[in-house]
Amino acid sequence: MRFETLAIHDGQTPDPGTGSVTVPVFQSSTFEREDLYHHREFFYSRIGNPTRQALESSLALLENARFGLAFASGVAATMAALQVLRPGEHVVSGIDIYGGTYRIFEQLLRPWGISISYAEDESTESYEACIRPETRLLWIESPSNPLLGLSDIRALSAMARQKGILTAVDNTFASPYFQLPLELGADIVVHSTTKYLGGHSDVIGGAVVMNDAALHKTIKNYQAAAGAIPGPWDCWLVMRGIKTLKIRMKEHEVNAMHLARLLEAHPAVERVSYPGLPSHPHHDLAKRQMTGFGGMLTFALKGGLPAVETLLGGLKLFTLADSLGGVESLVASPSKMTLGALSAEERRKRGCSDNLVRMSAGLEHALDLEADLLQALAAITK
């Protein structure tokens, strides 16, 4: 079946007991056992819940995966995926990554005796230069956050497999509609379902999907033991979002492309990073490994931080907020918000300058967003 049919039907079949076409919210912490020595499929909701199982099935199907696991947040999902690591092992990560992932690497993994190296750029050669005998995992964000850089997932996965190294891809920015990393050779895919999969800025969640049974067992055991699971209502909200993922992603992309072209031609803008623009250094790679360019863009203003402050203060339809992927358009200053906890030197290494603005294009009318953006930019050029 095709993507939009899977998103609506598979994993979300009518309830056999009532015929409800929407998966029920099984708001129960525990389930009756058959007797002292036997229990049904579900017996305690930390271990398994029917609503969560429906979401996990749907997540796996969207990524063309065998297994899906749901978590209480995107960072909980990241932490679960990293349970494939043991003390003494090594991770090679892209340098432009979500700040929460960087905190996990530096504040949690290093004290456990796991070392991390950051590739200088998105190229396969840059990752390969960091590999050591003890390297266990490549961690890739593509498109990356916040600079929208792309890595060649197929090439990196093939290189890693030859060396006995696992590859994990954070697919949050692209969503399963625009990119399928497992089909490109990755071993693990991670999502913040808070973002495009949920899509309405009303739920926090995460997901890990994979094909390998041994990886699934390791990560599922962690899910049950650590308990960072989403409640059934949160699972239901993500499933509701998934049903409209295709139509939302297509409209996010239309608006993002419109705004990217507008910004690229504006005199107040130094540069725009959007994979759909021919000027993007990885535009050809985006056309090869993605089926669309997504709803995220980043741009740099010529006036530095004062220009950013003027722009953010003047926008009316774009909400200043830390998240992304919702139906409403959001805007953020990476250096002051998403990567604000990093030192100035660390931000410099990552190319995160004070004049950067990250924008999540929502589903408003493109011309209304254009008018709002132009009036705010006009204040910079006065």
Torsion sign (Cα): 270, 273, 274, 277:
positive
170 as an active site residue: the answer is: yes
Torsion of CA 181, 116, 228, 325, to 10 degrees: -50
Residue 15 and residue 32: Cα distance in Å, rounded?
A: 19
Give the phi and the psi of residue 62 in degrees, each rounded to 5.
-65, -30
Residue 56's closest CA among 216, 265, 248?
Answer: 216
* Catalytic one of 46, 161, 261, 302: 46
* Catalytic one of 102, 127, 136, 170: 170
Helix (H, G, I), strand (E, B) or coil at 286: helix
- For 45-93, give the DSSP string: TTT--HHHHHHHHHHHHHTT-SEEEEESSHHHHHHHHGGG--TT-EEEE
Residue 200 and residue 182: Cα distance in Å, rounded?
A: 26
Strand order in the sheet with 188-192: 67-71, 206-210, 188-192, 166-170, 135-141, 90-93, 115-118
Length of the chain: 382
* Catalytic one of 52, 136, 195, 350: 195
Residue 376's closest CA among 241, 261, 263, 258?
Answer: 263
Structure tokens at 155: 């090439």
- Judge contact between 233 and 27, C-beta under 8 A: yes
222 as an active site residue: the answer is: no
Q: In this structure, which amino acid lies at residue 169?
A: V
46 as an active site residue: the answer is: yes
Residue 216 and residue 68: Cα distance in Å, rounded?
A: 8
* Catalytic one of 96, 98, 136, 274: 98
Residue 295 and residue 247: Cα distance in Å, rounded?
A: 12
Residue 347's closest CA among 140, 96, 100, 120?
Answer: 96
- Judge contact between 77 and 226, C-beta under 8 A: no
98 as an active site residue: the answer is: yes
Report, as residue numbers or ranges, the catalytic residues: 46, 98, 170, 195
